[in-house]
Amino acid sequence: MAINEPVLPPITERSNILSWMRKNLFGSWYDALLTILGAWIVYWALSGLLRWVFVTAEWEVIVVNMRLLMIGQYPLEQAWRLWLWLGLLVFLSGNSLAIWARQSKYAVLLLLAPALLSLFQVGAGQRGWLIGLTVTGLVGWGIGRIKPEVLKRSVIAGWVISLPVIILLTRGLSESETSFMPEVRTNLWGGLLLTFLLTVVGIMFSFPIGVLLALGRRSELPIIRWFSVGYIELVRGVPLISILFMAQLMLPLFLPDGWTVDRVIRAMVGITLFSAAYLAENVRGGLQAIPKGQFEAAEALGLSGAQTMIFIILPQALRLIIPILVGQFIGVFKDTSLVAIVGLLDLVGIARTVLAQPAFLGLQREVYVFISLIFWVLSYGMSYLSQRLEERLGVGIR
């Protein structure tokens, strides 16, 4: 029998469009009713949405205020520093895509996103930077393609040092106005920039605290266990907004006289402390899934308690919970918007500034839809990437 000859299913099970519709849309009378109802909802929502997006909505408010929405009051003449670290991130992404997503033919298309963005109404300077980003990403991708094995370590190191580099570039080096990179105070940080920094710092710092709390909760030492349980349950029992208020209003009181913490850092502390408790519970779930035999085998091999955790248990536990962790990181990203309530000018907070301009009164829908779109695209992108990562690492498949 020729192998390349496709085996056709029996004639009754062959699907064509009519039989597919009969099976999936009009199986019975109530099925048909539901289909009509669903089709009506789709038509109604879609036509309303399209009419609003293309006819009613006045998008000028977004175009004019793009800079405010993206970087807040950050001085424009210093914006090159932000582009610089964005370039670093894109370069590293290009490298990583080339190394870890070799099989995927379409991954490289991600790097074209900045260039695509430049097709929208942006200033000439920004267009240059955006195209530059894509070029940087493609260069990074090309370099990664050439020597993937050699570069692996340096790319990981690059990701690790990128956070301090980002903070340093954003904040600046010296306080004097005339120097090469004057300090930009945190009260000028705003828009998507602030949202991004709050998210990244929140994730980075809550991770080790969360892992420690999870270990503490499973510890056999009662005092440490009680402390961890108390902390986790306390934080999980109250809303994030109350913790943010506490960080804003009470943190300055907790510190000795003369110490001051600026508002952005207070918010970062609040987000970190909050997300650590949730992370601890997720990590605990992963730890519980590791069979006892792993501990016993590690002990039999003569590993100490700390060694067992670091080399045997945690790598397996964390690998198991990657999807949950990504879900939580998306949660942190979405939750950073709450800092707008305590008066920071993040993406949501800056919207109030934009809407207060006399020229754009009453355009709440446009502004908030745009902000939602940013949140949606970034969150969805993260969850999509995590699903791919899951497939690559074979979580759940052994």
Shortest reach from residue 108's CB to other proteins, in Å: 24
- The residues, any chain, with a CB within 8 Å of residue 397's CB and separated by 6 or more, are none
**Contact flag: residue 289 with other proteins (CB under 8 A):** no
Nearer to other proteins, 26 or 85 (CB): 26
CA 53, distance to chain mean position in Å, is 26
Give the Å distances, CA to CA, from 83 to 107, 151, 249, 359. 22, 24, 34, 30
Q: State in angstroms the smallest separation of the CB of 178 from other proteins.
A: 37
Q: What is the DSSP letter of 337?
A: G
Beta bridge partners of 346: 191
Nearer to other proteins, 110 or 240 (CB): 240
What is d(CA 125, CA 192) in angstroms, rounded to the nearest whole number? 19
Q: Which of these segments, 19-27, 92-100, 136-144, 186-194, binds other proteins (CB under 8 A)?
A: 19-27
Shorter beta-carbon distance to other proteins: residue 136 or 328: 328
Segment near other proteins (CB under 8 A); pick from 137-145, 156-164, 285-293, 369-377: 369-377
Please check whether residue 347 is in contact with residue 192, taking contact to mean a CB–CB distance below 8 angstroms: yes
- To other proteins, the closest distance from the beta carbon of 322 in angstroms equals 18
Tokens 């240059």 sit on residue: 128
Residue type for position 158: G
Q: Of 29-37, 287-295, 311-319, 389-397, which segment contacts other proteins by CB under 8 A?
A: 29-37
16-20 long-range contacts, CB within 8 A, separation 24+: none
**Applying CB under 8 A, does 241 fall inside the site for other proteins?**
yes
**Distance in angstroms (rounded) separating the CA atoms of residues 24 and 39:** 13
Choose the binding region for other proteins from 85-93, 135-143, 232-240, 307-315 (rule: CB under 8 A). Answer: 232-240
Minimum distance from CB of 144 to other proteins (Å)?
A: 29
Q: Which 154-173 residues touch other proteins, going by CB under 8 A?
A: none
Only one of the segments 220-228, 291-299, 317-325, 389-397 lies at the binding site for other proteins (rule: CB under 8 A); that segment is: 220-228
Binding flag, residue 222, other proteins (CB under 8 A): yes
- Going by C-beta distance under 8 Å and a sequence separation of 6 or more, which residues neighbour residue 18? none
Residue 84 is a binding residue for other proteins (CB under 8 A): no
Least distance (Å) between residue 234 CB and other proteins:
7
Q: Which residues contact 324 (CB under 8 A, 6 or more apart)?
A: 282, 285, 286
Q: Is 256 in the site for other proteins (CB under 8 A)?
A: yes
Minimum distance from CB of 202 to other proteins (Å)?
Answer: 14
Q: Which is nearer to other proteins, 98 or 203 (CB)?
A: 203
**Which among 175, 345, 204 has a CA at the least distance from the CA of 263?**
345
Beta bridge partners of 191: 346
Taking CB under 8 A as the criterion, the residue among 50, 156, 250, 310 binding other proteins is 250
- Of the pair 131, 369, the CB lying nearest other proteins is at 369
Q: How far is CA 12 from CA 6, 9, 15, 31, in A?
A: 17, 8, 8, 22
Question: In the range 329-358, which residues lie near other proteins by CB under 8 A?
Answer: 330, 334-335, 337-338, 340-341, 348
Q: Which stretch binds other proteins (CB under 8 A): 71-79, 134-142, 245-253, 287-295?
A: 245-253
Q: Rounded to an integer, what distance in angstroms lies between the CA atom of residue 23 and that of residue 21?
A: 5
3-state secondary structure of 182: strand
Q: How far apart are CA 198 and CA 189, in angstroms?
A: 11
Query: Could you give the 3-state DSSP secondary structure of residue 183?
Result: coil
- Note the residues at the interface with other proteins (CB under 8 A): 23-25, 27, 31, 34-35, 37-39, 41-42, 221-224, 227, 233-234, 236-242, 245-246, 249-250, 252-257, 330, 334-335, 337-338, 340-341, 348, 364-365, 368-369, 371-372, 375-376, 379-380, 383
